[in-house]
Amino acid sequence: MIIRDEQKDAFQAADCGRFQEACIGHLRETYPDETEGKSNGEMENLVHDGVGGAARYGIRRESDVLRFIEVRLALGDEFETEEGGEWAAEILNNESMGGPEKTDRLYLAAMTREREEREREEAENERKDRPTDEGSRRQHGRHRPERS
């Protein structure tokens, strides 16, 4: 049996379509807040651009590409080239690492950064919500008059 180039292209396109559908389903299910309000066309573009972005860094396995797309969804489409993204570019441009190691490190670093940012925001909100010492004593009936 001889498979012509057109047939190879058709098989590859079908495989890409299957991956795209599976990827979109996974992203919508796993990240409902981030994907809510995104049209199917926007999600298709996210996956398509993510596949291309991953390929630029030698990331080709489907599971690794999906992880790369998850990080893009969390941090933005060009997270590795934007200000503050040097840490990501360092991982992605490291030629001594393969795709799986790159995406594992990238994912862990991104989630750690996201958690740290959330903790900073929560601490800041706590500080804003915390009454001052003077206000706290008044609220709890422990206000002492100032001495003259």
- Is the predicted pLDDT of residue 50 greater than 70, yes or no? yes
Q: Look at residues 35, 94, 107, 31 and name the one whose alpha carbon lies nearest to residue 68.
A: 107
In angstroms, the CA 71 to CA 101 distance is: 14
What is the full DSSP assignment across 58-121?
T--SHHHHHHHHHHHHHH-TTTTTSTT-HHHHHHHT-TTS-HHHHHHHHHHHHHHHHHHHHHHH
pTM of the model: 0.70
Tell me what pLDDT residue 15 has.
Answer: 58
Structure-token match 């180039």, residue found: 5
Q: What is the pLDDT of residues 11-43, one digit of tens each?
A: 454 457 788 999 999 999 999 999 999 999 999
Output the average pLDDT for the chain. 81
Whether pLDDT at 90 is above 80: yes
What is the distance between the alpha carbons of residues 123 and 7, in angstroms, rounded to a whole number? Answer: 58
Half-sphere exposure of 136 (CA within 13 A, CB side): 5
Does residue 140 have a pLDDT over 90?
A: no
Query: Which amino acid is it at 102?
Result: K
Q: Would you call 37 helix, strand, or coil by DSSP? A: coil
The pLDDT, as a whole number, for residue 146 is 53
pLDDT band at 56 (very low <50, low <70, confident <90, very high): very high
- Mean per-residue pLDDT for 42-57? 92
- Do the Cβ atoms of 93 and 57 come closer than 8 Å? yes
Average pLDDT of 127-132? 76
The tokens describing 22, both together, are 């599976």
Give the per-residue pLDDT at 23: 93
